[in-house]
Structure 1
Amino acid sequence: MRHFYPLILQPKPENAITIAVSSRVLFNMEKEQQIYEQQGMEEYIKYQVEHEAEPFSPGPAFSFVKALEAVNTQLRELYPESEELFDVVLMTNNHQNESHDQRLINTIKHHKLFIERFCMTGGNSPIGFLKAYHTNLYLSADPVKVQEALEEGIAAATMFTLEKMKEVSETQLCVVFDGDAVLFSDESERVFKAHGLDKFLEHEDEHKNQPLNHGPLKGFLEALRKLQKKFYSKGRRMDCPILTYLVTARNAGSSGFRALKTLQSWDLETDKALFLAGAPKGPMLEKIRPHIFFDDNKSHVKQAVELGVVACHVPYGIA
């Protein structure tokens, strides 16, 4: 595939923070997907040929990817030789097809995105490719593939199309994590589901000094923290272009203490932590306006999407 920006070399996958993004979440391909599912491959190809010059509109992952590029620009200014950058891989389920490829390339150029790695799986499982790219995060519209990736130990989440998205920062990447079954394991959530709130609070109080086990997205937070520290070492702690939140239904008592204790035991932290004690997350997310929000609870994800917040479902553990 030809280079759009020949003066900027791509980092090696083992040195980069690799974000694998499905073409269906980077761009709005709802109509094309319907044609493929309802009319078959030949009609799909015919449609792509007829619309080759028409770029796809942005999908739910678009602003997130643009924010990654904004962080990369600032990292390159501080560390011109470093390969510790975000590297986006565009994943598509299609076989290699000239009309489809050209439309994707035209769209990337139209939106001035810096994406040079394409992975066309031809309908096969993406797992082998994700492992080869040392993927730190996989975003897809296909919950089956997301589940498969999580089972293989790859951080992954299902994204959903929004009718209208809230405006987000173009210069600072903002990522919001839920706690249980996202950053942490689902061990405490299992207690809550099985025995209710009182037993959950009792359990957390008894184990408040015992760190939780890690959840599926702990590694992604570690990767973000690693890049944050690169900005800190250049005197940019106060205006770091990466901002992280923990937004959890836990309260600020023993259960919240255990969450913070867990992060501390991992030598990790988020920039901000909000303990909502069971209150709805939607209004707070609407105020934060993150580029991406991860939660294992579908109701929280649905509420966020309805408010125009890019939200991802992490189907992990009992979720």
Structure 2
Amino acid sequence: MSEIKNNEASPANAGGASGAEKDWAEAKAAFDNLKSKKPRPPKPHTAVTIAVSSRTLFNMVEERKVWEQEGLERYVSYQQEHEDQPLKPGAAFPFVKALMTVNTRLRELYPEGEELFDIVLMTNNHAQVGVRLINSINHYDLLIERFCMTGGKSPIGYLKAYMTNLYLSKDSDKVQEAIEAGIAAATMFTPDMETELSETQLRVAFDGDAVLFSDESEIIVKQHGLDTFFEHERKNENTPLAQGPLKCFLEALGKLQKKFYAKNERLNCPIRTYLVTARSAASSGARVLKTLRSWGLEIDEALFLAGAPKGPLLQKIRPHIFFDDQMFHIEGAKELGTIAAHVPYGIGQKYHKGKLIEQPAKKS
């Protein structure tokens, strides 16, 4: 799984780290000499880096149709012909705006601070399309300075080079590839209706099993039923669950939250996290909370639904993003206006609404 970035250099790489620090100091000095009202991007190794695809940041449904129906050359021409027309906001747009709100608050409290969100546009678009993307970003006054446009090739290989903490895409295959590479990732879905979201607080909701935690307990539910699961959780209440694919993203959020707490801003913190789990509190909730405690992590609100639908509760929370490993929870969330992101991890990918999905026969 992707690991939270460590700011301290080990003796083995101290030379390389000092060289990188020197390069960064020179780049910072050059940037500071330029007259600009825009804040400079943070250092990659101290930032919480969020990589978003162009189709998650912007609504490119019409452009996608051109590519699918008329081919690549026409698609590139179409984008160039419309490069002065800003693209419409996509599923990740409110999330990105909320990240920028947090950065504004952090800069107010820590003017020289480098621990900030850094948003990278990670796309397999060709560079010729870049002008429209840049114009759209500037139109909405988004602070996105780092781009990776791979000209038709998968951008996944660049995620680690950009020190990515979270990758969001519309392409489930690329997300799966990122997960397998140990990078926190999710496939974003556009909600079926618009919901008014907070403009002052970033709200992130997580499922538990196979998202923050491994799927070990979910395997027991699927293969042996609830009674065996409850007994297993009771016996292992004091044994922390293994980490899941998004544990390190929660850790990164917690690290930024603590910067607000250090300034006595806990009650006014612009980051709020939620655990929204189908687990029952009395029967299987203690292990989850003790696992978070063993990791040194806090969750602002823990909601145990005991199998009830998540959509209505999420409708009250109004998160900028909700992560879950099971598509029926994603579908229920987006039907009620929640921006949902599917994490393709664990045994849940073989089931839908509790029923085993028929797997295609393997070729001999």
Shared fold (TM-score, shorter chain, > 0.5): yes
Is 2:143 aligned against 1:92? no
Match of 1:74 in 2: 105
Question: Which residue is 1:57 aligned to?
Answer: 88
1:30 and 2:61 matched: yes
State the identity as a percent.
67
Match for 1:44: what amino acid? Y
Q: Distance in 2 between matches of 1:315 and 1:86?
A: 24
RMSD: 1.5
Distance 1:5 1:102, change over 3 A: farther
Matched, 1:232 2:238: no
Q: Which runs of 5+ in 1 are unaligned?
A: none
Matched with 1:113 is 142
Q: Distance in 2 between matches of 1:160 and 1:232?
A: 33
Q: What TM-score comes out, normalization by structure 2 length?
A: 0.85
Matched, 1:189 2:208: no
1:59-99 alpha-carbon deviations (Å, 9 max, x no partner): 010000000000000000000111100000011111211xx
Contact 2:190 2:340 in 1 (8 A): no
Distance 1:138 1:121 in 2: 16
Give the counterpart letter for 1:213 in structure 2: A
Give the count of matched residue pairs.
316
* Aligned partners of 2:123 and 2:155 also within 8 Å: no
1:51 maps to a residue whose letter is H
Cα distance in 2 between the residues matched to 1:31 and 1:200: 46
Gaps of 5+ in 2: 1-30, 350-364
* DSSP-derived class of the 1:315 partner: coil
Which amino acid in 2 is paired with 1:172? Q
Superposed CA offset, 1:236-294 (max 9, x none): 00010000000100011141000001000100110000000000000000000000000
**How far apart in 1 are the matches of 2:334 and 2:35?**
33
**Could you tell me which residue of structure 1 aligns to residue 314 of structure 2?**
285
Partners of 1:106 and 1:205 in 2: how far apart?
55
Equivalent runs, 1:221-260 vs 2, <5 Å:
221-260=250-289
Q: CA deviation at 1:5?
A: 5.3
Deviation at 1:124, TM superposition (A): 2.0
The structure with the larger Rg is: 2
Equivalent-residue separation in structure 2 for 1:6 and 1:40 (angstroms): 40
User: What TM-score, normalized by structure 1, do the two folds share?
Assistant: 0.96
8 Å Cα contact 2:91/2:189 also seen in 1:
yes
Q: Which of 114, 128, 143 matches 1:83?
A: 114
Give the match for residue 237 of structure 2.
208
Deviation at 1:201, TM superposition (A): 1.1
